[in-house]
Amino acid sequence: MASKSSKILAGLVVLAGVGAATAWALTKPSPRPDADWANLGTPDLVKGEQVIWAGGCVSCHAATGATGEAVKVLSGGRALPSPFGTFHIPNISSDPHAGIGSWTLAQFGNAMTRGVGPEGEHLYPSFPYGSYARMTPADVNNLFGYIKTLPASSNVAPPHELGFPFNIRLAVGGWKLLYFNDKPRVQLANADDKVKRGQYLVEGPGHCGECHTPRDALGGLKTNLWLAGGPNPEGKGSIPNITPGGKVKDWSEADMVNYFQTGFTPDFDSVGGQMAEVQQNLAHLPQADLEAISAYLKAVPAR
């Protein structure tokens, strides 16, 4: 009898081990191949600056209240409340100790496009790598090169304030298994080059869907409601529907471009709330990119 019990126990241990190994294989951090970051050449700093504005990096990573050139000091430290706890945005300045000055391009690229930190750890998706996954290695290289030209800061952000089980980084692997991919958010038939450029900017570096798309209980985007608006992920107010069936349904592409450039709506209202910083960032982009974003927003399915 004891022998039979021992065999059952041993079998359960083996099954548990196989299950754990399978779970790890499915959810372990998955960086991109080194070849993706090789032979990219000297970064184009002009394009790198455009990426930083398209991505709104300064809106999160600059110090609270920073204005003018001070927004380019990416010292981090802002608190980002969420239903899962409070995240503290890290220093991504060129400081080699407090920031990312000692990182390699591969480390930066894997953080941006795979949510994998420099030590091979999962990063929390409060950092929108779920969108940045669509960025090209060339744009990542240009962005990294430009960040390295910006001022260093020795500020060290406090640790995240997360309760169990959200403080278990391994669980992020399960979240990625459910939600993470680098496929287009929507399929657009017969899209021309302008719309494709807009799709890249909105779905990739612009990460517009991170706020303008509703989320489920686990924080995953409800992609069947892409850009349809919903509760503010930071917990205050709501974010508007920006599909052709929502708030901007009567706006022309020219109206959208003017809004991005000036902050004024077609009825002479002005941008407000969190969108004010987004608009200020977008105003730095070339008009052709703003036209591309507008064309894409007119082309997505109405909700």
Do 44 and 107 fall within a single domain? yes
**187 occurs within a structural domain:** no
Task: Please name which of 86, 248, 246, 89 lies closest in space to residue 157, comparing C-alpha atoms.
Answer: 89
pLDDT of residue 121: 95
Distance CA 61, CA 137 (A): 21
Instruction: For residue 274, give the CATH number of its domain.
Output: 1.10.760
Distance CA 45, CA 200 (A): 19
pLDDT of residue 24: 47
**8 occurs within a structural domain:** no
Distance CA 125, CA 109 (A): 15
The H-or-E segment that residue 231 falls in is strand 230-231
Half-sphere exposure for 99 (CA within 13 Å, toward CB):
23
Q: Of 125, 157, 179, which one is at a domain's C-terminal end?
A: 179
Do 39 and 172 fall within a single domain? yes
User: Tens of pLDDT along 229-285?
Assistant: 988 876 678 899 999 999 899 999 999 999 999 999 999 899 988 899 999 999 999
pTM above the 0.95 mark?
no
Do 287 and 231 fall within a single domain? yes
Torsion over CA: 153, 109, 278, 236 (sign): negative
pLDDT of residue 222: 96
Q: Which are the contacts of 16, defined by CB distance < 8 A and separation ≥ 6?
A: none
**25 occurs within a structural domain:** no
Q: Of 147, 179, 211, which one is at a domain's C-terminal end?
A: 179
180 within 8 A of 133, measured Cβ to Cβ: yes
**186 occurs within a structural domain:** no
Cα 198 to chain centroid distance, Å, stands at 16
74 within 8 A of 57, measured Cβ to Cβ: yes
The H-or-E segment that residue 161 falls in is strand 161-162
**56 occurs within a structural domain:** yes
pLDDT of residue 9: 55
Do 143 and 55 fall within a single domain? yes
Number of domains the chain is built from: 2
**15 occurs within a structural domain:** no
Do 167 and 47 fall within a single domain? yes
**88 occurs within a structural domain:** yes
**9 occurs within a structural domain:** no
- Look up residue 20 and give its DSSP letter: H
Which range of residues forms the domain containing residue 282?
193-299
Do 285 and 201 fall within a single domain? yes
pLDDT of residue 64: 83
Cα 53 to chain centroid distance, Å, stands at 13
226 within 8 A of 301, measured Cβ to Cβ: yes
Do 175 and 39 fall within a single domain? yes
Residues of the chain with pLDDT under 70: 1-26, 234-235
Do 111 and 226 fall within a single domain? no
pLDDT of residue 232: 82
Do 243 and 167 fall within a single domain? no
Do 95 and 231 fall within a single domain? no
Do 174 and 79 fall within a single domain? yes
Do 78 and 204 fall within a single domain? no
Q: Of 179, 212, 229, which one is at a domain's C-terminal end?
A: 179
User: Tens of pLDDT along 226-237?
Assistant: 999 988 876 678
